[in-house]
């Protein structure tokens, strides 16, 4: 493949810190890192929503599978939760947790359903919510970011997080007497998951207002 007569490499050249220093370049500062996080998030979402190609969408959904969670974390995890890169990080991290621990995710979801009828309906989980179903939902949500109504996708993710949070709280209650340490850990993680849900709802509102960047 050529561009103006020049060969274009199939893969971009990777410049790590050592390679950059060897070429006389300095490592990026905080402002540059912040700008890169927001630019890459905007390009990813903009490109994904513009191409209308199921293969491209599937590759974007599976981004962590190709790059690794730590790479995505390095890029976006430090950004505010209610920003585009922060939102993408939470969506990919949620999908990766479900992908790696589908049995645990389905158990926690099932435990929370009876307390969260509305959230369960918004999430759109298939019945019964088994491991395959939670994995499929996580993929559907990310697919919606690139090939659907992005705000709706965020609201579905928020609803999923709310059901998981309720399930963890219920499981914590069941273990209060027999395993207080585990109960405490579940309660803490339930609160963290609920905050994630709240942030995703806020991000959906920002996206609709054209202010999620």
pLDDT at position 127 is 92
Q: What percent of the chain has pLDDT over 90?
A: 85
**Which has more pLDDT, 57 or 23?**
57
Measured between its terminal Cα atoms, the distance across the chain in Å is: 34
pLDDT band at residue 29 using 50, 70 and 90 as cut-offs: confident
pLDDT at position 1 is 39
pLDDT of residue 209 exceeding 60:
yes
pLDDT tens digit sequence for 134-167: 999 999 999 999 999 999 999 999 999 999 999 9
pLDDT band at residue 2 using 50, 70 and 90 as cut-offs: very low
**Residue 200's domain spans which residues?**
27-208
Residue 18 placed within a domain: no
∠ CA 63-67-73, nearest 5°, is 90
Number of structural domains (the chain) is 1
pLDDT tens digit sequence for 63-118: 999 999 999 999 999 999 999 999 999 999 999 999 999 999 999 999 999 999 99
Residue 19 placed within a domain: no
Residue 107 placed within a domain: yes
Residue 64 placed within a domain: yes
Residue 198 placed within a domain: yes
pTM score, whole prediction: 0.86
The whole-number average pLDDT for the span 178-202 is 97
pLDDT at position 201 is 98
Average pLDDT, rounded, for the chain? 89
């Amino acid at each position: 493949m050529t561009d103006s007569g020049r060969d274009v490499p199939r893969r971009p050249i990777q410049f790590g810190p050592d390679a950059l220093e060897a070429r006389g370049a300095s490592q990026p500062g905080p402002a540059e890192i912040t700008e890169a996080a927001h630019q890459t998030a905007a390009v990813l979402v903009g490109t994904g929503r513009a191409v209308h190609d199921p293969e491209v969408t599937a590759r974007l959904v599976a981004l962590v599978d190709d790059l690794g969670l730590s790479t995505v974390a390095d890029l976006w995890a430090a950004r505010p939760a209610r920003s585009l890169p922060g939102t993408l990080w939470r969506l990919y991290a949620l999908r990766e947790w479900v992908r790696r621990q589908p049995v645990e995710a389905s158990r926690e979801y099932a435990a929370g359903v009876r307390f969260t009828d509305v959230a369960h309906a918004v999430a759109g989980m298939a019945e019964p919510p088994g491991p395959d179903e939670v994995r499929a939902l996580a993929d559907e949500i990310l697919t919606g970011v690139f090939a659907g109504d992005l705000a709706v996708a965020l609201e579905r993710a928020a609803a999923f997080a709310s059901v998981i949070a309720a399930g963890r709280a219920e499981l914590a209650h069941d273990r209060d007497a027999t395993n207080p340490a585990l109960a405490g850990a579940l309660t803490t993680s339930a609160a963290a998951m609920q905050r994630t849900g709240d942030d995703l709802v806020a991000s959906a509102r920002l996206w609709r207002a054209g202010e999620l960047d």
